[in-house]
Structures are given as C-alpha cells and as structure tokens.
Chain A
Amino acid sequence: QVQLQESGPGLVKPSQTLSLTCTVSGGSISSGGYYWSWIRQHPGKGLEWIGYIYYSGSTYYNPSLKSRVTISGDTSKNQFSLKLSSVTAADTAVYYCARDRDGGGWNSFDYWGQGTLVTVSS
C-alpha cells in the first residue's frame, strides 16, 4: 500500500518561499509510469494541479505558476519537494502530494497524502 505524507511549515510570511516535502512509503519515486505531483485546494474551492516530477527527473508545471514553482526529488530518501516562491495570501491553501499513474490515454491520482494547510500571513 502506497502512502504519502506531506510535511513543512503551516505558516509562511508574504514574499517568502513555501517549502513542502512529501515522503513516500510502499512505493518508489524511481519507478517508471508514475508522476509524483503536487496539487492544492484553496479554502472552499476546487483542485488546482501545481506540477509533477517524473522518475527520470523531468518536471512539468502549471503554466500559471511556472515562474514561481520548483519540484525536485530525492531518491535516496524517497521524497519529493515543492518550493513556491514569492508567496502571497492567494497561495493560502491545502497542499496535497499525490501519485499520478499514467495509462497512456488516461491518468489518475490513485494515492494522495492527507493534505497540509499552508497559510500565508505576516
């Protein structure tokens, strides 16, 4: 059973960088066929894909966030991380990490972390 767990500060000051880590157990981020993803959900709103890292190290980001986002992986710790720079109150959200399974003509997020609320406030 794959499990994902987000960790990181719950409070970040405006203009600073939000940093979160996702620790994966029961599966390897080095496995092909999976994209290790970050997704966020603003309070009371829908899901927003932030980006993902593939086992090869390739990354893809939501175009609306691309200039501020970096996703990286640490295979030795079986973790992947999110950095979002120059945050504002609009970045306050629940942040989820998830495994994106690629099926060729489809994709699905089959495992999710529990989510972590990050508040941007001074």
Chain B
Amino acid sequence: EVQLVQSGAEVKKPGESLKISCKGSGYSFTSYWIGWVRQMPGKGLEWMGIIYPGDSDTRYSPSFQGQVTISADKSISTAYLQWSSLKASDTAMYYCARRDCSSTSCYMGYWGQGTLVTVSS
C-alpha cells in the first residue's frame, strides 16, 4: 500500500528555521516525483514545487522560489520542505503528494496527511 506519512504539527516563532518531512512507503521512492502544496487557513491549494528523489532534480513555483527549500534523502525514502527564517505568513497546512502519470496526463494520486505549521510570536 502506497503511503506518505508527514511529520507532526509545529509551532515556531518568526525568524526560526524549520524542516518538515514526508516519508514514502509501499513503492519505489526514487521513481516518482514528490510535490509540496500549501493551504493557508481557510484558503485554497497552492502549488509550491516538486522533487524527483532519484536524482534530486527540483523545480519551484515562482511564488516560492527562494522562500523554501525542497530536498530528499532517498536512503530513507523521505522528502523535506524547509525554511531558513519563518514568517507569520508561513502559517499554513502543508501537504506532500506523489505525482503519478498515465499515458495522457500527470496528477497527484497519493497525498500525505498534512503538516500544520504555526508561526507566532
């Protein structure tokens, strides 16, 4: 069974750093892209970026380029999303999801349960 299990909720202060994780199991972790999606409180889904754990090829949405870092450790089947200096506006739920592709399209077929990040002084 394919599973993406994310790390637990975090409460941080502005200016602090943070790294959240997404551990894949039940499939070949290095063969599928993993994407990250932000959902601010009461708002919609925002695409942040994506990584291919096989070679760590990483692509960012322009809105998030330079704001976060996406990485992966294929030896432990885990993808990461990190911030060097959090802001209150980073308060959100963050989802990881596996990118699956058919012959005609790609889509996010499996999702983690989400990690709630709260940034408050």
B partners with A: no
Interface residues in chain B, defined as those with a beta carbon under 8 Å from any beta carbon in chain A: none
